[in-house]
Amino acid sequence: MDSQEFRAWSRRAADWGADYRDTVRDKPVRPQVAPGSIMKQIAASPPEQAEEMEAIFADFEVKIMPGMTHWQHPRFFAYFPANAARVSVIAEYLVTAVAAQCMLWQTSPAATELETKMIDWLRQALGLPEGFSGVIQDSASSATLAAVLTMRERALDWDGNKKGLPGQRRLRIYCSNQVHTSIDRAIWVAGIGDENLVRIPTIGALRSMDAAALEAAILADKEAGFLPAGIVACVGGTSIGGTDDIAAVAEIARRYDLYLHVDAAWAGAAMICPEFRHFWNGAESADSIVFNPHKWLGASFDCSVQFVRDPESHVRTLAIKPEYLKTHGHDGIINYSEWTVTLGRRFRALKLWFLMRAHGLEGLRTMIRNHVRWSAALAERLSKEPDFELVTAPMLSLFSFRHQAGEGQDADEHNLRLVNAINDDGRIYLTQTRVDDRVAIRFQVGQFDVEQVDVDAAFDVIVEIARGLS
């Protein structure tokens, strides 16, 4: 592809993207395809000769797009959002065109220095105190893994990376049953083992970790010869928004000298609104915090921010400095590849810079406040219907509900049929979970372009299909 073709196809791709965003509301949120149907349309072997871009692009539209779930659809109410504000997409165009490898300061000084500044902008926006620094990770999974590795090394007096885990005391990490499965995976990858992830019972409407039970578990483990290393607390868990009392957990972490990591991957974005910050009171005492601007804030995936209070411990755990990666003649610079498990790094800070400047914090706050208000209104409407029940009240913009099964029907089976029927219908997209071992249907408002009319339409779709099944 020469420069002329590159210019023409870049324009065509940009026009296609704008048209797609303008018309995505008219498409089914989830594709109406059978497993394997896309694969059958793709050639069995790679081409020996170059093909024309016109044919490639046509195949993209005809064969690929019909099998895509539309995460930017205003009626995407499933999982958590994976937003990509239009201005963030433009920034990604530029990042992709420049195609820099931003692992070290010297491999792109502007990328490193903008990342440092964007971390501090976000620290201020979330109301966190001075003293926190941080890094942009690809996802909360990577941030949590980095935190767990730091817990491990700190508890082992930095001998884990050097000597390995055999012969060391068995480490223990503590969390509730509301945390994301990325915590389990971090425990596996860190070599700590699933049996050493201690699940603490939860209490109250927010399903908070029971502080008394947490302390009792730590004391019992110490008595048994285990080595408590850290705690993973949760703000806005994936299932139903489970939220720990961070201040109470932080006090226990201080008392027993444990590393505290706070997973606020989704809900952290809401902390740009001062009225929601009570949900993470005490977060300023955490050793690390993760939140994903690529969820609710509008930055396109991937973009996860990990704040750390003691970067020296973090870097001591992760940094490797062979001669070919050293930057000579400069002191005090940051090489962010020393803050992450991966060496290679994309220029993620640019989309944050574009996003916050184009929308302003007040514009982003208005969006989040609307989502919380619309979700609460929908939850109230459903709760007033005689054949529906709220299972969990709204935590920010997330709640769960159930529909009453007909006589002789299994309630769990009925609600699974309902969520599948809703998704097969295509007008909205929801997901299910389990609460107290019963199936419940999740609903969350968070897509960047959603309007109140979309949330109102969701009520009509849910009620219509539920009563049709009955």
pLDDT digits (tens, 9 = 90+) for 95-132: 999 888 888 888 888 899 999 999 999 999 999 999 99
Enumerate the β-bridge partners of residue 401.
Answer: 390, 441
Q: What CATH class has 101-346?
A: alpha beta
- Spans of the chain, pLDDT less than 50: 323-325, 328-330
- pLDDT, residue 331, reads 56
Rg of the chain over all Cα atoms, to the nearest angstrom:
24
Q: What are phi and psi of 77, to 5 degrees?
A: -115, 15
Amino acid at 186: A
Q: What are phi and psi of 263, to 5 degrees?
A: -95, 105
Enumerate the β-bridge partners of residue 254.
Answer: none
Distance CA 230, CA 171 (A): 9
Q: What are phi and psi of 169, to 5 degrees?
A: -65, 150
- pLDDT, residue 322, reads 52
> Could you tell me the CA-to-CA distances from 47 to 43, 44, 63, 94, 240 in Å, in that order?
8, 9, 17, 30, 47
Which residues neighbour 138 within 8 Å (Cβ) at sequence distance 6 or greater? 302, 304, 342, 346
- pLDDT, residue 344, reads 87
What fold is seen in the domain 3-86?
A: dopa decarboxylase, N-terminal domain (1.20.1340)
What confidence tens digit (pLDDT) does each residue in 170-180 have?
999 999 988 87
Three-class secondary structure assignment of the chain: CCHHHHHHHHHHHHHHHHHHHHHHHHCCCCCCCCCCCCHHHCCCCCCCCCCCHHHHHHHHHHHHHHHCCCCCCCCECCCCCCCCCHHHHHHHHHHHHHCCCCCCCCCCHHHHHHHHHHHHHHHHHHCCCCCCEEEEECCHHHHHHHHHHHHHHHHCCCCHHHHCCCCCCCEEEEEECCCCHHHHHHHHHCCCCHHHEEEECEECCCCEECHHHHHHHHHHHHHCCCEEEEEEEEECCCCCCCECCHHHHHHHHHHCCCEEEEECCCHHHHHHCHHHHHHHCCHHHCCEEEECHHHHHCCCCCCEEEEECCHHHHHHHHCCCCHHHCCCCCCCCCCHHHHCCCCCCCCCHHHHHHHHHHHHHHHHHHHHHHHHHHHHHHHHHHHCCCCEEEEEEEECCEEEEEECCCCCCCHHHHHHHHHHHHHHHCCCECEEEEECCEEEEEEECCCCCCCHHHHHHHHHHHHHHHHHHC
Topology alike, domains 3-86 and 101-346: no
- pLDDT, residue 154, reads 93
- pLDDT, residue 329, reads 42
Whether residue 302 is preceded by a cis peptide bond, meaning omega within 30 degrees of 0, is yes
pTM: 0.91
Answer positive or negative: Cα dihedral of 163, 165, 169, 171: positive
- pLDDT, residue 179, reads 83
Answer positive or negative: Cα dihedral of 7, 13, 14, 16: positive
Amino acid at 158: W
Amino acid at 404: Q
Domains of the chain by residue range:
3-86, 101-346
